[in-house]
Amino acid sequence: MGNRAVLKQAIREVKEGQDRQKVFQAHLPEVSNPKHLATAIAGVPNPELKARYASINYVLVALLIVAALLKLAGGLFYFMQYGAFIGIAAVFLGILVPLVFAMGVARFEGQIYSILIILCIANALNLLIKINQSGLWAIPDLVLLAVIAGLSWWLKSKIFPSLGFLGAKQDANGAFAL
């Protein structure tokens, strides 16, 4: 079995309720990088935490859908101003990216929250660089990005306490917190 299949099997076993540490130890000899296995296991939410924060998580999903709709409106502006090809590309990418993240957040995929935070920060920096072109129109976008990034960070820390920003957390001895 390849690494990807082992990781999927480990995720499936944890979702079925098996002990995380036992799943990690059972699949450890089968993977080339133990951190990938630990991150996959840490990225599965605890059912109690998932239920506790589900409503707030769906607020994040709704915000991502709003972002997709705003990108649709912006893409239509490009369509009218720069031509069909650029407009269609802007609409497609502008809708696709937030909706892909919305689906990942709705499925409680732990690693997607960190990527979402990075993309929000990158987008905010891009807006700040171009602030003199956009003027006050950039403020609502910056607020939306800040809310999405902040909510993503908060939810990630609450739903996935053993998942760090770039993978599974480790204790002082180097053991993974699962």
* pLDDT tens-digit map of 127-161: 888 777 767 777 888 999 999 999 999 999 999 99
Partners of residue 176 on adjacent β-strands: 170
Give the type of residue at 114: S
Tens digits of per-residue pLDDT, 51-67?
999 999 999 999 999 99
Contact 42, 49 (CB under 8 A): no
Residue 95 has pLDDT above 80, yes or no: yes
**Tokens coding 107:** 């499925």
Predicted pLDDT of residue 87: 67
d(Cα 70, Cα 65) in Å, to the nearest integer? Answer: 9
Whether the per-residue pLDDT at 1 is higher than 70: the answer is no
pLDDT band for position 79 (cuts 50, 70, 90): low
Mean pLDDT score of the chain: 86
Whether residue 7 contacts residue 37, with contact meaning beta carbons closer than 8 Å, is answered with yes
Token pair for residue 73? 């409106």
Model confidence at 102: pLDDT above 90: yes
Q: Output the pTM of the full model.
A: 0.84
Q: Is the pLDDT of residue 32 over 90?
A: no
> What pLDDT was estimated at residue 139?
84
Q: How many residues does the chain have?
A: 178
Q: What are phi and psi of 160, to 5 degrees?
A: -125, 70
Model confidence at 168, pLDDT cuts 50, 70, 90, reads: confident
Over residues 108-126, mean pLDDT: 92
pLDDT for position 3: 79
The secondary structure of 104-166, three-state, reads: HHHCCCHHHHHHHHHHHHHHHHHHHHCHHHHHHHHHHHHHHHHHHHHHHHHHHHHHCCCECCC
pLDDT at residue 49, as a whole number: 93
pLDDT value of residue 73? 74
Exposed/middle/buried for residue 136 (C-beta within 10 Å: 0-12, 13-18, 19+): exposed
